[in-house]
Amino acid sequence: MLAYRERDYSSSMAASASLSKQQLTALIEDTKDYQITHGSLLKVVNTNTEENVALTRAIPVSLSPTRFSRHLFEEAKGLQKIFNRLYMRVASDEEFLHRILKPPIDNDTFKKTLWNIHIAARKTGRVQDVSLKTLRSDYMIHRDEGVDVNGNLKKLQLKQVEFNTFSVAGVYMRTWLRICTSICVKLELTELGGLTFAHNMYKSQDLSRRSGILFIVQHNNFNICDEQPLEYVLWNQEPPIPTYRLNFCDVLDHVSLGPSRELLYTSSSCPFKPLEILVVYFRAGYQPEEYDKKGIAARILLEISRAIQCPSILSHLTTFKKVQQELAMPGVLERLLPQEECDYLRATFAPLYPSDASELGLQARALTMDLGKAASYVLKPSLEGGGNNVYDADIPDFLELVPEERWDQFTLMKMINSPSHDGMLMSSDGIYEGPTISELGIFGVCLWRREVRGGGHEILDNMEIGWSFKTKPEDVGEMSVVKGYGFLDSPSGRGEYQRK
């Protein structure tokens, strides 16, 4: 399936039915100026010089708000704290998590690498029993085809697309969006609450030295507009919380352990005065190629330090699609949550299938190899960053190229039948006017302490901290904004849904 950026939309510049050509031109210019003056830009890294960033690209945005059920919006927000607790409990149950991931670990080098990092850290012994996790649950609205017994369109439902627990992006980026109704979404600074709380509760034998938070980032990251503002806000708190950026590939060159495994960071600007890192916040380390010998050693060093990890390696492992797939199986939620909460969460699950050699997996394989049936599904690998899924009619041909012993690395998901809405989307490639569908992301933070003797846990903080909203052309599969598929948007609770 082609992304919008691979098409020529130069012919779509005609004004929409509700705007004159003059009004549309003014709206476009106003939006561009707003993005420039508010930092809603992506860095084009190959134009980056020692003295200047020669080129930036505006983040794709919707020029008008998109309809989304207010009731379902509030329902999604209300579910987040339950999902936070659910994934905290999965991350706290090593045996359960290993049972879920063992088959793909055996056949997937990336998962095996991460699991071996956990084993190495466990053998060394952990000295920090507090964990921090930032999370995002993504939803689309679903409506079954046809009508009910009374001849009415079937009820709209909230369905979860995926659940993210590592390097969760999009919290800050959404705040720049200005829509044609001149509403600017206000930043909810509560997304910093987990980092601030973790920083302030940290206990060390010696805090006479300077301390701070370390952001682990990717080299030449183009998405700094969603990361560095968080650092600026931390620095501007009273008292300030010093925050530093370090490329994942450079960790071993600047970080070491103290006598009590304090995490000591020596910056290039101040090489003779190391400071103690209290919280490590990962915005890198989610791609297999980052884990060469040096990357593995760096992650182990961070994991065994006294610094609070956001997230820990076990929490990182919960982000894989196999965990989402297992939690959707009958009876699994009940071992982790009360029945009433299980019912709430299960209502949002779309049908998910393994692609392994189990009975259910064989059913899924039959679906994926049938061109007609595959058109209703999406095949998902356990990779982050967008642009990795395989859609409908492309699935059979894709699997023909993958050795059958590696099929269990994928999860098959029934496509969500989302109502469409006519929209107007703007990117550096032009204006798209036509049917669109949207995705709502709800952010959460969970901070907890592992109780070593009892084997349980103590929740220290659990919050729903805000939302993001993205829209894409109806016939585009992926939704990643920074990869060029989706557009930042703002939901409107007014109006009725259309079906094309």
Annotated binding site: 136, 162, 164, 321, 380-389, 391, 413-416, 439, 472, 478
277 with 214: CB under 8 angstroms? yes
**Angle, alpha carbons 270-312-200 (nearest 5°):** 55
Q: Which residues are annotated as a binding site for ATP?
A: 162, 321, 380-389, 391, 413-416, 439, 472, 478
**Sequence-ordered strand ranges (E) for 68-226:** 130-142, 157-164, 211-217
Measured distance CA(100)–CA(106) in Å, rounded: 12
What are the angstrom distances between the C-alpha of 466 and each of 79, 82, 135, 368, 498? Answer: 12, 15, 11, 36, 27
Residue 292 — left, alpha, or beta (φ > 0 → left; ψ -120 to 50 → alpha)? beta
Measured distance CA(322)–CA(98) in Å, rounded: 11
305 with 128: CB under 8 angstroms? yes
Paired tokens of 282:
């990962």
Paired tokens of 473:
């052309």
Alpha helices in 157-204 (DSSP H): 193-201
Measured distance CA(318)–CA(133) in Å, rounded: 11
Paired tokens of 58:
């505006």
Q: Tokens 């304090």 — which residue?
A: 262
66 with 471: CB under 8 angstroms? yes
Q: Quick one: which H or E segment has residue 34?
A: helix 21-37
Residue 435 preceded by cis peptide, ω within 30: no
Residue 311 preceded by cis peptide, ω within 30: yes
Q: Which residues are annotated as a binding site for substrate?
A: 136
What does DSSP assign to residue 369? T
Q: Which residues are annotated as a binding site for Mg(2+)?
A: 162, 164, 384
Strand order in the sheet with 410-414: 352-354, 410-414, 377-381, 390-391
Q: In angstroms, how far apart are the furthest CA atoms of the chain? A: 76
Paired tokens of 207:
């805090």
Measured distance CA(83)–CA(350) in Å, rounded: 16
Question: Which residues lie closer than 8 Å to 14 by C-beta, 6 or more apart?
Answer: 21, 433
**Sequence-ordered strand ranges (E) for 151-267:** 157-164, 211-217, 243-247, 255-257, 263-267
